[in-house]
Amino acid sequence: MRILLTNDDGINARGLDLLETIAQRFSDDIWVVAPTEEQSGAGHSLTLTQPVRVRRHDNRRFSVTGTPTDAVMMALAHIMKDSPPDLILSGINRGANLAEDVTYSGTVSAAMEGALAGVRSIALSQSYSREGMGDTVPFAAAEAWAERALEPLIGLKMAPGSLINVNFPALPPEQVKGVRVCRQGIRDYGRLRLIERQDPRGYTYFWFGLGPVVETPGHSTDLEVIADGYVSVTPLHLDLTHDASLAQLRDRFVDQVG
């Protein structure tokens, strides 16, 4: 099995090194194509207004001066064109990618690009608490649980246009309760926290904060699963059509249908 690794934290990220170690337990045919620099929050963007450059670090390790989407596209259309991957693993991200975060996430978007190309794709992210920030974020839960979370997924036949989003809780490995399959959650953005501050020159600036979690019956979403101390496994798909609205909209345009 040929596995492509990528991320949005950059080619030198700790989480990518950890993912490579874990991937080697499943295959000895591992390729790495990742952004040169951190691209957190890049979403599913691609570079159109400037050239993209590729640096070769060794036979199967490359960095790309662009977004996670650029990296996957470069891997599939150029670097691995004659030897495409059977599986794409994106991560392990420094920070959770839960709920609507998946639309901003470069980690998840790299897996989305893989899914668009028909390659089985899985995104992996490590939550962290305020006690672990920046370079001190502990990856212990991911290190201990990633193989267990991936093993049932490695041979899974995924539906076309779908991917898997895995998140590890911010807990010591021995406190993780297990793995739960769950829905994507949503936060209460009607109560978005906006923190206003002033820089040394007297100008106002803002930090965005996350709204509180909207709890669901049975704690059935990824937000609650992580908060309850489990690894979350969520299937996502790329078709954003809201099927329930199709009939209503057709009725609205019934006189204009040609």
Binding residues: 8-9, 40, 93
Report yes or no: 222 and 99 within 8 Å, Cβ to Cβ.
Answer: yes
CA distances from 118 to 50, 76, 108, 190 (A): 27, 11, 15, 37
**Cα–Cα distance for residue pair 117/76, rounded to 1 Å:** 8
Report yes or no: 81 and 2 within 8 Å, Cβ to Cβ.
Answer: no
Sign of CA dihedral 127, 131, 132, 134: positive
Q: What is the DSSP letter of 65?
A: S
Alpha helices in 43-139 (DSSP H): 68-74, 106-116
Q: Closest Cα partner for 140 from 12, 15, 5, 6?
A: 15
Concatenating the DSSP letter of every residue in 153-213 gives HHT--PPTTEEEEEEE-SS-GGG---EEE-B---B-GGG-EEEEEE-TTS-EEEEEEPPPB
Report yes or no: 150 and 231 within 8 Å, Cβ to Cβ.
Answer: no
- Residues annotated within a binding site for a divalent metal cation: 8-9, 40, 93
